[in-house]
Amino acid sequence: MRKLIKNKLVQMFKHRYIAALIIIATLVIISQIIMQFTIIQGENNSRKINIAGRQSMLSQSINKAAFGLYFSETERDKYRYKIELSQDIDLWENSYIGLLNGSEELGLDVNNSTKIKSMFDDIDEEYNTILKSAKLLVGLPNSNENDKEKIREEIKIIQDNEQTFLKGMDAIVFQYDSESKENLKTIQITEVIILIVTLGALIIEAIFIFRPAQKQLEKSLKELSISKENLEKLFDSSPYAMMLINPDGLNVEKLNTVAESIIKETINDTKELNLRDLFQKKEEDQKLLDMLLVKDKLKNIEMVLKDIHDLNFVLKLDSNKIQYDGKSMILLGLSDITRLKEAEEVLKKYATVDEMTGILNKRSGMLIMENVFERNKYNNTNFSIIFIDLNDLKSVNDNYGHQEGDYFIKTIANIIKNSVGSSDTVFRYGGDEIVLVLDNCDLKISELVIKRINKNLKLISEKVVKPYAMTLSYGIAVTQKENVQSSTELMEIADKRMYEYKRLFKENRDK
């Protein structure tokens, strides 16, 4: 019960905490994404504002270089101002195109607003006019004195368009700054909303997750306390012997009255009891103690104890490792099955032994016969079967009654049983048929065995005079002489030889 409550509690907390963590993690991830987006956007907007502001400086630098070219007196100065003008034009043109269409080199995206695109359209004519005039100045030859007037004309074109261009770029810079502030404001509002949502989620979690979890925990702890009381009541009132064992030292911490009554059969004093005191000093008992410590659960383990009168009694043992009062314990259950085992032995005897003769019945005998056959086959040793049939049993039953017939069968069975060794097997195959299984035995020894049986039978017949002769017919089959694959085949050969012996017996008797 305690384990079940614990599992339910763990699952409940697990599911609720996972839900809470997913919500919080999602909000944190969203907040981080917005923060990173804000940083990237801020960097991009700052870069745009800087580059847009630099366009004004570059246009002025182009104008300055153009005037320098106009007033140059030497070829060297003209060359220097053309280089400066060419560099300013390249940077000015690349920056303008980057602001308008985006540039990986400058780190600019193409995410311009509609208004900024319109503002670029407004100064596009001036930009192209200035660009065209500046490039014409770079392309003029240095030694041509007639180009002074041409330079002055192109400078005038640049100056005429520069003010409009500068005014437009200043407006674009202002618009970039304005949009950047507006985006930042939007992001700040979004972050505030996420913060409010996060706080709301925490409040919801506290109300709908943690508070119910707290109540459920209190309820579960209360149920656990009740379960413990019920467990102790069940423990004390159980009709089975139950003990709580401390695995550290195997001391018995608690036992019910049934267990106490069983223990008193073996030990007079049950105070400060140790589980080792119950066990005999045998190897299998030590193995059982080791299993109790290692295994979480044992079921239907039989153990034999001696009572105070030195008589054996049998217990069935079951064990489970449990938590009791915050400590690991072994819950041990014991049942006295002495009478049950005695009844089993009686049933086993009747299941394997022929009731009339006391020898094995057919089913048990056939199983043993096959096992002995396989063992001798594996060891490459001889195996012999003697099939015996009682002569004239029907005549004895008909003329002298079944009581005499039973005496005849039991007498022959006892003689056979007492004429063989302990490793040999005798079983009743049918009404007047008995099979003798001789382990590791050749034909010569088998014939000696049957002679000993006939000799003992003759001695009994001389001592106990009956109005009928007690004789038998037999057939012998040995594996060394026969090519057989099973004990059943070998028995069939012995059976046929028994019938041949019986036929000859009757023929000689009737002469």
Q: Is the pLDDT of residue 341 over 70?
A: no
Q: Which one of 82-96, 177-191, 493-507 scores highest in mean pLDDT? A: 493-507
Mean pLDDT calculated for residue range 44-50: 78
pLDDT for position 68: 85
Identify the bridge partners of residue 301 per DSSP, sorted by sequence position. 317
Q: Of 95, 94, 93, 69, nearest to 83 (Cα)? A: 69
pLDDT for position 109: 77
Q: Is the pLDDT of residue 412 over 80?
A: yes
Q: Tell me the percentage of the chain whose pLDDT exceeds 70.
A: 84
Q: Dihedrals φ, ψ of 16, to 5°?
A: -70, -40
Retrieve residue 308's tokens: 């105070």
Q: What pLDDT, in 10s, does the model give residues 119-152? A: 888 988 988 988 888 888 888 776 555 567 888 8
Q: How many residues in the chain?
A: 511
- What are the strands, taking DSSP E only, across 132-250? 241-246
Q: Of 345, 342, 385, 347, nearest to 365 (Cα)? A: 385
Range with lowest mean pLDDT among 243-252, 375-384, 418-427, 436-445: 243-252
More confident residue, 128 or 299: 128
> How far apart are the C-alpha atoms of 319 and 113, rounded to whole Å?
78
Of the pLDDT bands very low, low, confident and very high (cuts 50, 70, 90), residue 494 is very high
Region for residue 326 given its phi and psi (left: phi exceeds 0; alpha: psi -120 to 50; beta: otherwise) = left
Q: To the nearest whole number, what is the mean pLDDT of the chain?
A: 81
CA 2 to chain centre: 23
CA 343 to chain centre: 43
pLDDT for position 478: 94
- Measured between alpha carbons, how far is residue 228 from residues 34, 38, 142, 200, 224 in Å? 53, 59, 108, 40, 6
The radius of gyration of the chain from alpha carbons, rounded to an integer in Å, stands at 56
pLDDT for position 179: 81
> How far apart are the C-alpha atoms of 123 and 107, rounded to whole Å?
23
Identify the bridge partners of residue 320 per DSSP, sorted by sequence position. 297, 331
Of the pLDDT bands very low, low, confident and very high (cuts 50, 70, 90), residue 454 is very high
Range with lowest mean pLDDT among 1-10, 55-64, 91-100, 221-230: 1-10
pLDDT for position 76: 86
Q: Which one of 203-207, 320-324, 494-498 scores highest in mean pLDDT? A: 494-498
> How far apart are the C-alpha atoms of 274 and 253, rounded to whole Å?
9
Of the pLDDT bands very low, low, confident and very high (cuts 50, 70, 90), residue 414 is very high
Q: Is the pLDDT of residue 295 over 70?
A: yes
pLDDT for position 145: 54
pLDDT for position 13: 61
User: For residue 225, what is the enclosing H or E element?
Assistant: helix 211-237
Range with lowest mean pLDDT among 44-53, 364-373, 386-395, 478-487: 44-53
Region for residue 392 given its phi and psi (left: phi exceeds 0; alpha: psi -120 to 50; beta: otherwise) = left
Which amino acid is it at 301? I
More confident residue, 204 or 403: 403
Classify residue 201 by burial, with Cβ atoms within 10 Å: 0-12, 13-18, 19+: middle
Retrieve residue 9's tokens: 């509690």
Mean pLDDT calculated for residue range 144-168: 81
Range with lowest mean pLDDT among 165-169, 324-328, 411-415: 324-328
pLDDT for position 180: 80
pLDDT for position 73: 80
Which amino acid is it at 335? S
Q: Is the pLDDT of residue 308 over 70?
A: no
Q: What pLDDT, in 10s, does the model give residues 3-27? A: 555 566 556 666 766 776 777 777 7
Residue pair 330/320 in contact (Cβ under 8 Å)? The answer is yes
Mean pLDDT calculated for residue range 241-250: 82
Q: Is the pLDDT of residue 475 over 90?
A: yes
pLDDT for position 474: 96
> How far apart are the C-alpha atoms of 397 and 405, rounded to whole Å?
5
Q: Is the pLDDT of residue 170 over 60?
A: yes
Residue ranges in 419-486 assigned as alpha helix (H): 443-463
pTM of the predicted structure, to 2 decimals: 0.41
Q: Is the pLDDT of residue 159 over 90?
A: no
Close Cβ partners of 355 (under 8 Å, ≥ 6 residues apart): none
pLDDT for position 228: 63
Pairing relation of β-strands 297-306 and 312-324?
antiparallel
Mean pLDDT calculated for residue range 408-424: 91
Range with lowest mean pLDDT among 237-241, 254-258, 480-484: 237-241
Q: Is the pLDDT of residue 272 over 60?
A: yes
Q: Which one of 78-82, 218-222, 289-293, 297-301 scores highest in mean pLDDT? A: 78-82
DSSP 357: T
